[in-house]
Structure 1
Amino acid sequence: MSLPTLARPTETTVPSPRPEPTPHALGPDDFRDAFRHHPGGVALVTALGEHAPAALTATSLTSISADPAVLAFSVSHASSAAPTILAAGTVVVHLLDASTVHLAKLGATSGIDRFADTSLWTTLPTGEPVFRGTRWLRARVLDRVDAGAATLVLAEPLECDLGSDDVGEGCVREGLVYLNRTWHRLGDASRLD
């Protein structure tokens, strides 16, 4: 029994590799302008430091995986909270809505003591600071990835307090997004369906 003769492959052109991107091809101003019109959800990230708690506002929060649960956010190296947040083994990620925009502004303001008003926050039994009236996830830091002028933090949620959708009689939580350097409320009036 003879083996079938295999057809000789035809000559093909191998595509040339893509050119390497030019370092800094897109300047920081153009990059910021591009994302200025891309809305981001708003979170407040807190951690307990060696000497004091720290907080920062993040619009980079994203869900990476549901099973297992993993989230990510970035921390600008320019933030005064960066050393504490990046050194922490656990963080609390507060999922802010329109009723808590004051906390978003608090975490985004530099040069202030974000924990001066002790009526706004308390500590969890595990020691991390948590702001009252928010939905939050306490998460264990899995990894930190340097990315330019920021560090991407990957974390595994360990526990949460998601409260309820009601924030008062007849009220429903409305979303909070940051768009074009401004806070925006998402509610029934902003629906497009």
Structure 2
Amino acid sequence: MTNLSPTPSAGTTRRFPLTSIDADDFKSFFRGHPGGVSVITAEGPAGPVALTATSVASISVDPPLLVFSVSALSSATPSILAADSVVVHLLDTDDLAVAKLASTSGIDRFADRDAWTRLSTGEPVFHGVRAWIRGAIVNRLEAGGSTVVVAHALQGSVSRSVGEGPGALVYHDRTWHRLSETSRIA
């Protein structure tokens, strides 16, 4: 695993100040910054795991790479970090139940066998989501209390194209929201 290094250039070390923004203040900054909602699944030693994330982004189209981060506080994180591959589910508002399921602590997220299946490669995938991408993990970077994961997209499926569904699912100010044509401002 690569450590996040505060080095601006080879051979020099940059020291950060001893003080930082308070954690609650830092969270408040990002409450006003909406994020698209995704669910990450992987096969762990004890079975399938899932978590909800708002950190998914594409970072390259050639090769096709995506990135996301997982918190050390999530029970799914050790399995995701140990996996060779994951499935990233890109959700719209029709998928709110999947987002809530994967973000709820202390439950068996895979108890409903009718809600998911396994790909031929073994990874768990939820049925009917707007889109999913299976990716091979190619890099992990420790960053504070989280790990940033880079995955190479290998396979995917789109059930509903943008504009066909009810609108994108976003998380903003600690709640779920819908983006649609009526929310367009420019």
What residue is the counterpart of 1:83 in the other structure?
A: 78
Report the alpha carbon displacement of residue 173 of structure 1 after superposing the two structures with TM. 3.8
Question: Residue 38 of structure 1 corresponds to which residue in structure 2?
Answer: 33
**Could you say if the C-alpha distance between residues 143 and 183 of structure 1 is closer, same or farther in structure 2, counting changes exceeding 3 Å?**
same
Note the C-alpha offset of 1:22.
1.3
1:103 maps to which residue? 98
Corresponding residue for 1:152?
A: 148
Q: CA RMSD in A?
A: 1.6
Q: Which amino acid aligns with 2:155?
A: E
User: Residues 164 and 20 (structure 1 numbering): CA distance in 2 closer, same or farther, change over 3 Å?
Assistant: same
Please say if residues 167 and 179 of structure 2, whose CA atoms lie closer than 8 Å, have aligned partners that are also in contact: yes
SS across alignment from 2:142? strand
Alignment partners' CA distance in 1, 2:173 and 2:162:
28
Shift of 1:37: 0.5
Aligned-partner SS, 1:192: coil
Q: Does 2:152 correspond to 1:191? A: no
**Residue equivalent to 1:117:** 112
Q: Show structure 1 runs of 5+ residues with no match.
A: 1-18
Pair 1:175 & 2:171 matched? no
* TM-score of the pair, normalised by structure 1: 0.85
1:131-158 Cα deviation digits (max 9, x unpaired): 0001100000001100000000011000
- Other structure's SS at 1:126 match: coil
Identity of aligned residues (%): 51
3-state DSSP of counterpart to 1:30: helix
How far, CA to CA, are the matches of 2:116 and 2:73 in structure 1?
24
Alpha-carbon distance between aligned partners in 2 of 1:21 and 1:165, rounded to the nearest angstrom: 44
Paired residues, number: 172
**Structure number with bigger Rg:** 1
Say if 1:24 and 1:108 are closer, same or farther in 2 by CA, change over 3 A: farther
For 1:142 and 1:23, locate their aligned partners in 2 and report how far apart those are by CA, in whole Å: 33
8 Å CA contact 1:72, 1:152 repeated in 2: yes
Distance in 2 between residues matched to 1:24 and 1:154, nearest whole Å: 30
Give runs of ≥4 in structure 1 deviating > 4 Å. none
* Secondary structure at 1:107 match in 2: helix
The question of whether the paired residues in 1 share the 8 Å contact of 2:92 and 2:165 is answered with no
Q: Distance in 1 between matches of 2:18 and 2:115?
A: 44
Long gaps (5+) in structure 2: 1-13
- The residue type equivalent to 2:57 in the other structure is T
Secondary structure of the 1:152 match is: strand
